[in-house]
């Protein structure tokens, strides 16, 4: 049976020693009063909820899955899910980082982010129900009319209702310009929506009496492609005069998918049969409005994968300490036993440290991005807000794709630590591998994230955002370049920063001649960018750990060892990735389609 404990010590290290969140938040009027003790207490309680309430439902939820009843179009979630959701709402967790004007607690995104890591580690499938609601909340808050906000936001904030995002259709996933769902204007100012959506997460369930669907559709006179897409709010039950769930709206679940992982989350086919909806934001600007939700969701998917990386790591370590096989090559370590625990073997350590480094690097990176979001939302100086927004835009595709790829690697390595037992359901590791796989696909596949990074965020911007972030790295290198103790981290960091900059320019030049060069380079390019960011954070963490070496606290010893492992064993992957990215489109495009 697997286990999970919240990594509170590492979270505190990242938040307080690395990012100094208390001081950073003090500059934001909305969070100026928040102190480190309060942050720690909230996360401690959040960790208990995740470990004690959600984690015990993870394996049973995976086995039971969701049950669909065609006659009533209803979905039953696995046993215990609805009760856990009731407790979640009763404790006020949904409102943690929401706007006090709508009943929220007004706490910063950076805190909510750490909380979500724990929820996802404990039970990704369950966490998707409140996770999608949070995205719907953000979208309506940014683009809803005052009436829409008043009607829906308090219910989403309290967790009384949940939300969804309905984009995908059978013939259109990545290319939303192809979508066909139609919205006909009605005399009363509402719209009637007709069409079919597929793969809608949390599209139907038994956790709440109402579900707020955010649906992309086309108006009758809309131009073709992405410029003709509008966004609508379509509640499952139309709110009555008192704002309570009233008449059933014809937006029905037609089936649920049987899938590889996240069995506890209902992935629904959603049929709209003249369902009543209301326009959110401007007509034909729906994708713009939906981007608010998609960006939040992309960071959210990164947090799903960070959670899985951490829980897989914790369990693999526990197993590697217990399991005895063979003897250490350098002589027996457990002489009182017939064999040594497998944690003595170098390659088992490589697997464990890979997962550990991906968890610790990912935690530092995502907490930083979340803090930048707080700055973007709340800093009094507009220039600072804009700079933060630019960084978030640049880093979001890296969070989504790099962390989800890393989790897939980490969960697979953690499974391998168990040998054959990893492949057996009872131990829980194969579920982590299965669950982690979807994170590379939804919210824009990782290929699409890579194209977003290289094409839109770097090349279309002439590298301006990348250069700005690079200046932060350069300042750190300059500040620590003469410190001999830091040389083992600064030298490779400076090296990869320089290579990344050259690589960006080289691809930019090639792209002038042939746009396929961007598509050919994007995926390895994003991974190089991910490593640059990780190297930056590991170097900063190593600096803190070095300064605390004599503190007697083993935490810093472990941090330093993990940073050294990262630089020695994971960062060198960039040499291969750069070669791949530079190899260009020729080897991919030369083969005629008919020869495949």
Ligand X SMILES: Cc1cc2nc3c(=O)[nH]c(=O)nc-3n(C[C@H](O)[C@H](O)[C@H](O)COP(=O)(O)OP(=O)(O)OC[C@H]3O[C@@H](n4cnc5c(N)ncnc54)[C@H](O)[C@@H]3O)c2cc1C
**Sites of contact with ligand X (CB under 6 A):** 165-168, 173-174, 199-201, 259, 267, 438, 441-442, 444-445, 447-448, 519
370 vs 119: CA distance, rounded Å: 16
Q: Check residue 548 and report its DSSP letter.
A: T
Beta-carbon neighbour count of residue 274 at 10 Å?
12
542 vs 364: CA distance, rounded Å: 12
- Residue closer to ligand X by CB (options 43, 403) is 403
How far, CA to CA in Å, does 27 sit from each of 38, 66, 134, 419? 17, 45, 25, 50
Q: Least Å distance between CB 367 and ligand X?
A: 25
- Residue closer to ligand X by CB (options 278, 442) is 442
Phi then psi for residue 124, to 5 deg, are -65, -45
Look at residues 235, 233, 207, 44 and name the one whose alpha carbon lies nearest to residue 130: 207
Helix axes 286-322, 429-438, angle to 10 degrees: 160
- Residue closer to ligand X by CB (options 249, 269) is 269
Q: Least Å distance between CB 205 and ligand X?
A: 13
Tell me which residue has tokens 């993870």: 58
- Token reading at 341: 């625990």
- Residue closer to ligand X by CB (options 170, 243) is 170
265 vs 229: CA distance, rounded Å: 28
420 vs 430: CA distance, rounded Å: 11
**Secondary element (H or E) of residue 8:** helix 8-12
Q: Least Å distance between CB 519 and ligand X?
A: 6
Q: Least Å distance between CB 448 and ligand X?
A: 6
Catalytic member of 443, 484, 517, 593 = 443
443 is catalytic: yes
Q: Least Å distance between CB 96 and ligand X?
A: 22
- Residue closer to ligand X by CB (options 264, 341) is 264
Cβ(538)–Cβ(563) under 8 Å?
Answer: yes
315-335 burial, b if ≥16 CB within 10 A, otherwise e?
A: bbbebbeebeeebbeeeeeee
Q: Least Å distance between CB 162 and ligand X?
A: 12
User: Nearest to ligand X by Cβ — which residue?
Assistant: 173
Cβ(146)–Cβ(202) under 8 Å?
Answer: no
- Token reading at 339: 């064999």
Tell me which residue has tokens 């979340």: 370
Look at residues 221, 234, 235 and name the one whose alpha carbon lies nearest to residue 284: 221
Residue 509, burial from CB neighbour count under 10 angstroms (0-12, 13-18, 19+): exposed
- Residue closer to ligand X by CB (options 308, 364) is 308
- Residue closer to ligand X by CB (options 324, 447) is 447
3-state secondary structure labels for all residues of 36-82: HHHHHHHHHHHHHHHHHHHHHHHHHHHHHCCEEECCCCEEECCCCHH
- Residue closer to ligand X by CB (options 158, 445) is 445
Q: Least Å distance between CB 196 and ligand X?
A: 12
- Residue closer to ligand X by CB (options 267, 366) is 267
493 vs 567: CA distance, rounded Å: 9
Cβ(572)–Cβ(565) under 8 Å?
Answer: no
Q: Least Å distance between CB 153 and ligand X?
A: 20
Indicate the SS3 state at residue 128: helix
- Residue closer to ligand X by CB (options 118, 166) is 166
How open is the CA angle 284-401-134, to the nearest 5 degrees? 55
Look at residues 499, 487, 464 and name the one whose alpha carbon lies nearest to residue 573: 499
Alpha helices in 323-381 (DSSP H): 346-378
Query: What's the alpha-carbon Rg for the chain, to the nearest Å?
Result: 24
Residue 548, burial from CB neighbour count under 10 angstroms (0-12, 13-18, 19+): middle
Q: Least Å distance between CB 229 and ligand X?
A: 12
- Quote helix, strand, coil % in the chain, to nearest 5: 65, 10, 25
How far, CA to CA in Å, does 140 sit from each of 6, 286, 379, 457? 32, 12, 21, 25
- Residue closer to ligand X by CB (options 194, 416) is 194
Q: Least Å distance between CB 543 and ligand X?
A: 38
Q: Least Å distance between CB 422 and ligand X?
A: 23
Residues classed as catalytic: 443
């Amino acid at each position: 049976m697997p286990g999970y404990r919240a990594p509170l010590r590492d979270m505190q290290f990242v938040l307080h020693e690395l990012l100094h969140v208390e001081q950073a938040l003090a500059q934001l009027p909305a969070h100026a009063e928040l102190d480190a003790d309060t942050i720690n207490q909230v996360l401690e309680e959040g960790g208990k909820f995740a470990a004690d309430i959600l984690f015990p439902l993870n394996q049973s939820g995976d086995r039971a899955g969701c049950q669909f009843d065609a006659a009533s179009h209803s979905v039953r979630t696995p046993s215990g899910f609805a009760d856990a959701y009731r407790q979640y709402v009763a404790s006020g967790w949904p409102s943690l980082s929401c706007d006090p004007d709508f009943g929220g607690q007004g706490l910063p995104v950076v805190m909510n982010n750490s909380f979500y890591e724990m929820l996802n580690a404990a039970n990704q499938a369950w966490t998707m129900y409140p996770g999608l609601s949070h995205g719907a909340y953000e979208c309506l808050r940014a683009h809803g009319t005052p009436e829409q906000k008043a009607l829906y936001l308090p219910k989403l904030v309290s967790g009384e209702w949940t939300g969804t995002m309905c984009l995908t259709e059978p013939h259109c996933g990545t290319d939303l310009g192809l979508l066909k769902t139609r919205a006909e204007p009605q005399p009363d100012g509402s719209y009637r929506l007709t069409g079919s959506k597929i793969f809608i997460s949390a599209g139907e369930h038994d956790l709440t009496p109402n579900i707020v669907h955010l649906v992309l559709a086309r108006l009758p006179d809309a131009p073709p492609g992405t410029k003709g897409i509008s966004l609508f709010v379509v509640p499952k039950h139309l709110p009555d005069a008192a704002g309570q769930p009233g008449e059933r709206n014809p937006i029905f679940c037609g089936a649920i998918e049987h899938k590889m992982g996240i069995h506890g989350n209902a992935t629904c086919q959603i049929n709209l049969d003249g369902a009543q909806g209301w326009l959110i934001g401007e007509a034909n600007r729906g994708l713009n409005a939906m981007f608010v939700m998609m960006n939040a969701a992309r960071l959210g998917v990164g947090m799903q994968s960070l959670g899985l990386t951490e829980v897989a790591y914790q369990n693999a370590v526990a197993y590697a300490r217990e399991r005895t096989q063979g003897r250490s090559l350098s002589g027996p370590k457990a002489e009182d036993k017939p064999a040594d625990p497998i944690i003595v073997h170098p390659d088992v350590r490589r697997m464990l440290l890979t997962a550990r480094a991906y968890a610790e690097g990912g935690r530092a990176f995502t907490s930083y991005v979340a803090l930048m979001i707080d700055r973007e939302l709340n800093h009094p100086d507009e220039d600072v807000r804009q700079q933060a927004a630019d960084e978030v835009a640049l880093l979001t595709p890296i969070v989504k794709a790099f962390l989800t790829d890393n989790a897939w690697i980490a969960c697979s390595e953690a499974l391998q630590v168990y040998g054959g037992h990893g492949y057996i359901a009872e131990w829980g590791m194969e579920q982590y591998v299965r669950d982690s796989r979807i994170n590379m696909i939804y919210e824009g596949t990782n290929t699409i994230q890579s194209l977003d990074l290289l094409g839109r965020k770097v090349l279309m911007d002439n590298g301006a955002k990348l250069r700005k972030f690079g200046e932060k790295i350069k300042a750190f290198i300059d500040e620590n370049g003469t410190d001999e103790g830091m040389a083992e981290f600064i030298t490779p960091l400076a090296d990869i920063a320089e290579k990344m900059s050259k690589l960006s320019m080289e691809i930019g030049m090639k792209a002038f001649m042939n746009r396929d060069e961007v598509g050919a380079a994007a995926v390895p390019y994003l991974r190089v960018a991910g490593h640059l960011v990780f190297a930056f954070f590991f170097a900063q963490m190593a600096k803190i750990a070095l300064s605390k070496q004599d503190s007697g606290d083993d935490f810093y010893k472990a941090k330093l060892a993990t940073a050294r492992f990262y630089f020695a064993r994971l960062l060198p992957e960039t040499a291969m990735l750069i070669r791949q990215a530079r190899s260009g489109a020729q080897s991919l495009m030369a083969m005629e389609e008919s020869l495949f």
